[in-house]
Amino acid sequence: MKRVIAIADRAASVSLKLLVALNILFFLSFLAVLLFAAGRAHAEVPTCTGADMLSALQKSSPATYSKIEAEAAATLNGKGLLWKLEKPGEQPSYLFGTMHMTDTRVTTLPASAQKAFDAAGTLIIETTDVLDKQKMMTAMLKEPDLMMFTDSTTLSSLLSPDEAKAMNAALDARGIPPATVAKMKPWMLSAMMALPACELARQSGGAPVLDVKLAESAKAAGKPVEGLETAESQLRAMASLPLAFHMKGLVDTLKLGDKVNDINETMIVLYQRGDTGMFWPLFRTAMPDEQNDPSGYAAFEETMITSRNKVMADHAGPILAKGNAFMAVGALHLPGPEGLVEDFRKAGYTVTAVN
C-alpha cells in the first residue's frame, strides 16, 4: 500500500486517468514518436521495469481491493475485449479492444480474437493514417498549430523553473533532446511522457503497436482495411480542450517519474485480463485526490471518449452492414453506458462477450 500512497502523493488522479487514456485510446503517443524518431539513432532498447500495483494492493489492503473489484463489476460491459455483433440479415462481425502499445503481451491476440481476426473479411481500425507514416506526417503538418506553438510560446515558458528542470530530466531519460520538443504542444509531450522508456524505444525503432500490426497482417492477407476517423480529427479534439488543463496534466505526469512504469505495467495486466471496467475504479480509489478540476476531466471524457464513440459507431455502420468485419479500437471505447458495446446494441445489434 505504501507504494500506491507514494504515487498518490506525487501525482493527481486526473493526470493518471489521462495517462491511462493516452495509451489505450489514442495514437497520440505514436504520432509524437514520429515527430522526433526519424532523425534519432536507434539506441539499445532499455529493459522494461514496473510492478503491478493491483497485485500489491490486493496483498496490502484487501478491503480496498474488494471495493475496486465491486465498482468494476458494476461497470456496464466492463469485462471482455472481444464482442460478437449480430444482426438479422448480416454475417456476424466482431468488436475488439486494443492498446496502442508494442508490448508482446498486448500484440499477441487471445486465441478467440485471433480466430475471429483470421476469419474476418475486413479489418476496421480507428484510423488508417498510421499505416503510411510519410502521408500522415504530410497531412499533420498542414495544420502545424495542432501540434506545435506557432508563435513565440515554448513549453518552458509555461513552466516554473523546477517544472522545466523535471521536464528536461524526463526527456533526457528517454533520449530526447529537449530542444527538439521545445515548441511541442503539451498534449503531444504528455503522450511521450506516458510511455515507459522501453516502449518509446521500441516505437522509435519501428516496432508496430497492436492496431498497426493487425492492419499490416490484414493487408498482407489481401483484406481491406477501413478507418473510422483521421489523425487530424484526434488532434483537433485534443486541441479543443483548455491549454491550462493540458499543462496541468503534463506537469503532474512529469511528477510521476519512474512510477509511470508501474502504471503501465498495471494497465497491461488489466488489459490481459480483459478488465476494462477496472481501470478507472483502480486509479480513482488508489489515488483519491479529486481536487484537480473534475470539470476538466469531464470535458476530456466527453470530447475524447463519448463523442468519438458516436462518430465511430456511425462510421462503422455501413462497413458492418456488409458483414464479417473485425473492428479493433482502443479498449476504453468499449465499456460503460456510453461505450461502443451499448452504442451497437442501440443500433440493433445483439452484442455478446466472447471468452
For 38-58, write each residue's pLDDT tens digit. 445 455 778 888 999 888 889
DSSP string of 179-195? GGGTTB-HHHHHHHHTS
Let me know: does 305 contact 21? Beta carbons within 8 Å: yes
- C-alpha to C-alpha distance for 107 and 184, rounded to whole angstroms: 29
C-alpha radius of gyration, the chain, whole number: 20
Mean pLDDT, the chain, integer: 84
CB atoms within 10 A of CB 41: 6
Q: What is the pTM of this model?
A: 0.89
Per-residue pLDDT at 291? 47
> Looking at beta carbons, which pairs linking 107-116 to residues 24 or more positions away fall under 8 Å?
107/208, 107/209, 107/210, 107/213, 110/81, 110/82, 112/82, 112/354, 112/355, 113/81, 113/82, 113/354, 116/82, 116/84, 116/326, 116/354
Average pLDDT over residues 182-196: 84
* pLDDT tens figures, 280-328: 888 776 554 444 555 666 777 888 889 999 999 999 999 999 999 999 9
Per-residue pLDDT at 33? 65
Per-residue pLDDT at 27? 64
Amino acid at 103: D
Average pLDDT over residues 238-261: 83
Nearest to 258 by CA among 348, 174, 333: 174
Q: Which residues contact 290 (CB under 8 A, 6 or more apart)?
A: 13
Give percent above pLDDT 90 in the chain: 45
* pLDDT tens figures, 119-156: 999 999 999 988 887 777 776 778 888 888 999 999 99
Task: Provide the greatest CA pair distance for the chain.
Answer: 63
Let me know: does 285 contact 70? Beta carbons within 8 Å: no
- CB-based burial, 93-122: b 16+ in 10 Å, e otherwise: bbbbbbbbbbbeebbebeeebeebbeebeb
Which single residue is written with the C-alpha cell 473489484? Answer: 69
Per-residue pLDDT at 11? 39
**Domain boundaries of the chain, sorted by first residue:** 2-353
Report CA 34 to chain centroid distance, whole Å: 16
C-alpha pair distances (Å), 100 with each of 2, 73, 103, 247, 329:
30, 25, 9, 23, 9
- CB-based burial, 145-169: b 16+ in 10 Å, e otherwise: ebbbbeeeeebeebbeeebbebbbe
Per-residue pLDDT at 288? 47
